[in-house]
A and B are shown apart, each in its own frame.
Chain A
Amino acid sequence: MVTEQIAPQYEGPPQVAAHTATWRHRHLLDVDSLERGEIERVLETARAMQEVLARPVARTPALRGVIVCNLFYEASTRTRASFELAGKVLGADVINVSAGGSSVEKGESLVDTVKTIAAVGADVVIIRHPASGAPYLIAQTIDSHVINAGDGQHAHPTQALLDAFILHDAFGRLDGRRVVIVGDMLHSRVARSNLWALTRLGAEVTLVAPRPLLPAWLARGGEEREHPLALPNVSCDSDLDRAIVGADAVMALRIQRERMRGALLPSAAEYARRYQLTAERVARAAPHAVVMHPGPMNEGVEIASEVAHGAQSRIEAQVSAGLAIRMAVLFLLVRGVS
């Protein structure tokens, strides 16, 4: 069951030649379907988009006449605003549908809602849904491009791509760089998608969490029988003070309060004591280390305020990178496929 959550449609690493001129994906459902050259293509395109965003008139006609629909079944500020703005900067028409205030409240099923949206002419459907795998269902149902903006505990590909973009900015190639991700590894779609993106770009990833929230089977080596889905370059540790030493980047994940009630997590104070990114802990990482957080933050729980707003923090840069990444993804999906 756990393996299904990780990657519903994972069929091994893609075999197609890297960096082909034509973009071969109609949808972006997770990062696991992208090979290294394709991830780099997204980052390269996002860099050009950043230049567009810096112009006095940040608006281009690249997606003129394209209708983009934001379909959000979960609360979201930055992802949704960022997709909406990305579409508008590229000249697309963007409509927003949220579960509250739409026919969803009247009991319409996901498939029916999506068919309706496709019927009014949406070329791209961007979906966030609490059920893992919902975007895959939609991609099979309609002819529009589908972008996964976060599905349950499964994937959040644009977040992982923007994190990769930030790291690429800081270090160039990521080969041999070590990234520590701290938080609820078992339930985090951000962590999952980041695992795919970062390891494919050559980084080593250390997952840090209290033992019940640590998918130890993901790490290779150390165990008697390796799990078939164990990833190279991934290690697990329940001791942040040990894992953070010499790291090139540290990413804290939001602690979801509902998990604390489920007895998987100790109290917020107990979690903070052992796993909060404090200035003292960050000082043990490499001197050039960057600090990241996908937001929204619980300052004082998983990250100290002084770290969140400190010199090593790239958290604000993550938000603006998110816009460029989402423009790049929209552009490649709609215009890159011949």
Chain B
Amino acid sequence: MRRVLMRIAHEIVERHPPPEPLVLMGMQTRGVPLAERLALSIEAIDGRRIAAGAIDNSLYRDDLARRSTARILPSRIPGDIDGSVIVLVDDVLFTGRSIRAALDALIDYGRPAVIELAVLIDRGHRELPIRADYVGKNLPTRRGDDVRVRLAEVDGVDDVALHPAPLGLPTDGGR
């Protein structure tokens, strides 16, 4: 995972060399430590201190009415985001719906110059016209499979696990 994050950090630096005003926004919950790690990696590459924030999209989700665990986590926006380059960071990119919600949330804070997306895992099955600019690993899955990323900061351990959907069951995934 460290190698993958370092590669993403290099790609971000390549596309946005200093002194571009770069902000990393982690999506609650596991995108947040990923954004912090990326910020440290970028600092190791070119010495820039990058602000890492957190964004919670739960008030913007289109499936809010259908979810039972309505828990809102804090958003932390580092300073004014007007005109800055924002890289949204999340662990798994799936339907794209939570990214859509995060974009709505983000735009309520200001008008960034650019918003890009970095994800650790892209598992496919998009339901919206959204793609990632930086991908750690493409992971072919079926819709009903369960992809779990665990991070030391949250779960005590770094790993990615694919739990296949039971055979013969309808696989409508997160929809």
Contacts and interface: CB of A to CB of B under 8 A. Distances in A.
Contacts of B60: 60-62
Given A62-B59, A90-B59, A55 B108 contact: yes
Contact of A56 (B65, B70, B72, B108): B108
Interface in B108-127: 108-110
Contact of A48 (B67, B74, B108): B74
A55 B70 contact: no
B65 A335 contact: yes
B68 A22 contact: yes
A335 B64 contact: yes
Contacts of A203: none
Contacts of B64: 62, 335
Contact of A60 (B67, B73, B108, B110): B108
A48 B68 CA distance: 18
Given A51-B75, A55-B108, A57-B108, A21 B56 contact: no
Contacts of B105: 60
Nearest to A66: B65
Contact of B68 (A21, A49, A60, A331): A21
A257 B69 CA distance: 46
Interface in A71-91: 90
> Majority SS of interface residues in chain A?
loop
B73 to A, nearest CB: 7
Contact of B108 (A49, A59, A335): A59
A48 B73 CA distance: 6
A60 B109 contact: no
A331 B104 CA distance: 19
A331 B56 contact: no
B104 A21 contact: no
Interface in B47-80: 56, 58-60, 64-65, 67-75, 77
A52 B104 CA distance: 13
A60 B59 contact: yes
Given A45-B71, A51-B74, A51-B75, 10 more contacts: A21-B68, A48-B73, A48-B75, A57-B109, A60-B60, A60-B108, A61-B104, A62-B58, A62-B59, A90-B59
10 contacts: A56-B108, A56-B109, A57-B108, A57-B109, A331-B59, A331-B70, A335-B64, A335-B65, A337-B68, A338-B68
Top 7 nearest A-B pairs (CB, nearest first) are A338-B68, A48-B72, A62-B59, A60-B59, A57-B108, A21-B69, A335-B70
